[in-house]
Amino acid sequence: MPEEPLRVLFAAPECAPWVKTGGLGDVCASLPRALHRRGVDVRLMLPAYPGLKGTLRTAHESVPLPALGGLPQAHIARVTLPGGQAAFLVDCPALYDRPGGPYQDASGHDWEDNPVRFAVLGRAVAHVATWPFDWRAQVVHCNDWQTALAPAYLALGATPRPATVITIHNLAFQGLFPPQVFASLGLPPESFSIDGVEFHGQVSYLKAGLQYADAITTVSPSYAREIRQAPLGFGLEGLLQRRSAVLSGILNGIDVDLWNPATDPWIERRYDAATLHRKTDNKGALRARCGLAGAPAVPLIGVVSRLTQQKGLDLVLEAADRLLRLPAQLVVLGAGEVHLERAFRELARAHPGRVSVTLAFDEPLAHRIEAGADIFLMPSRFEPCGMNQMYSQRYGTIPVVRATGGLADSVVDCTPATLANGSASGFLFESASAPALLAAIERAIAVYREPALWQHLQRQAMARDFGWDASARAYAALYARIAA
Q: CA angle, 109 as apex, 108 and 114 as ends, to 5°?
A: 125
334 is an interface residue for ligand GLC by CB under 6 A: no
22 is an interface residue for ligand GLC by CB under 6 A: yes
Which 379-438 positions form the footprint of ligand ADP (CB under 6 A)?
385-388
170 is an interface residue for ligand GLC by CB under 6 A: yes
256 is an interface residue for ligand ADP by CB under 6 A: no
Q: How many CB atoms lie within 10 A of CB 419?
A: 16
- State which of residues 28, 210, 239, 304 lies at the interface with ligand ADP (CB under 6 A): 304
User: Which partner from the list ligand GLC, ligand ADP, none does 334 bind, CB cut-off 5 to 8 Å by kind?
Assistant: ligand ADP
Which 378-437 positions form the footprint of ligand GLC (CB under 6 A)?
383-387, 406
User: Which partner from the list ligand GLC, ligand ADP, none does 306 bind, CB cut-off 5 to 8 Å by kind?
Assistant: ligand ADP
- Residue 269 CA neighbour count, 13 Å, CB half: 14
Amino acid at 137: A
Helices (H) and strands (E) in the chain, counts: 19, 18
209 is an interface residue for ligand GLC by CB under 6 A: no
By beta-carbon proximity to ligand ADP, the closer residue of 272 and 362 is: 362
282 is an interface residue for ligand ADP by CB under 6 A: no
**Sequence-ordered list of residues with C-beta below 8 angstroms from that of 455, at least 6 positions apart, any chain:** 276
The contacts found for 269-276 with CB under 8 angstroms, 24 or more apart, are 271/371, 271/396, 272/462, 273/396, 273/458, 273/459, 273/462, 273/463, 276/396, 276/455, 276/458, 276/459, 276/462
Which 336-365 positions form the footprint of ligand GLC (CB under 6 A)?
none
What is the C-alpha separation between 26 and 24, in angstroms, rounded? 5
- State which of residues 7, 362, 442, 456 lies at the interface with ligand ADP (CB under 6 A): 362
Q: How far is the CB of 417 from ligand ADP (least distance, A)?
A: 28
- Cα torsion angle, 229, 234, 236, 238, sign: positive
249 is an interface residue for ligand GLC by CB under 6 A: no
User: Which partner from the list ligand GLC, ligand ADP, none does 219 bind, CB cut-off 5 to 8 Å by kind?
Assistant: ligand GLC
By beta-carbon proximity to ligand GLC, the closer residue of 386 and 396 is: 386
Taking CA atoms, 386 is separated from 100, 262, 395, in Å, by 24, 22, 16
Q: Which residue is nearest to ligand GLC (CB)?
A: 23
Residues 328 and 296 sit within 8 Å (Cβ to Cβ): no
- The helix or strand, by DSSP H or E, that contains position 206, with its residue range, turns out to be helix 205-212
- State which of residues 23, 47, 175, 396 lies at the interface with ligand ADP (CB under 6 A): 23
What is the C-alpha separation between 389 and 382, in angstroms, rounded? 14
- State which of residues 26, 91, 214, 255 lies at the interface with ligand ADP (CB under 6 A): 26
Which residues here bind ligand GLC, judged by CB under 6 A?
A: 22-24, 27, 169-170, 219, 252, 383-387, 406
Which residues here bind ligand ADP, judged by CB under 6 A?
A: 22-24, 26, 304-306, 333-335, 361-363, 366, 385-388
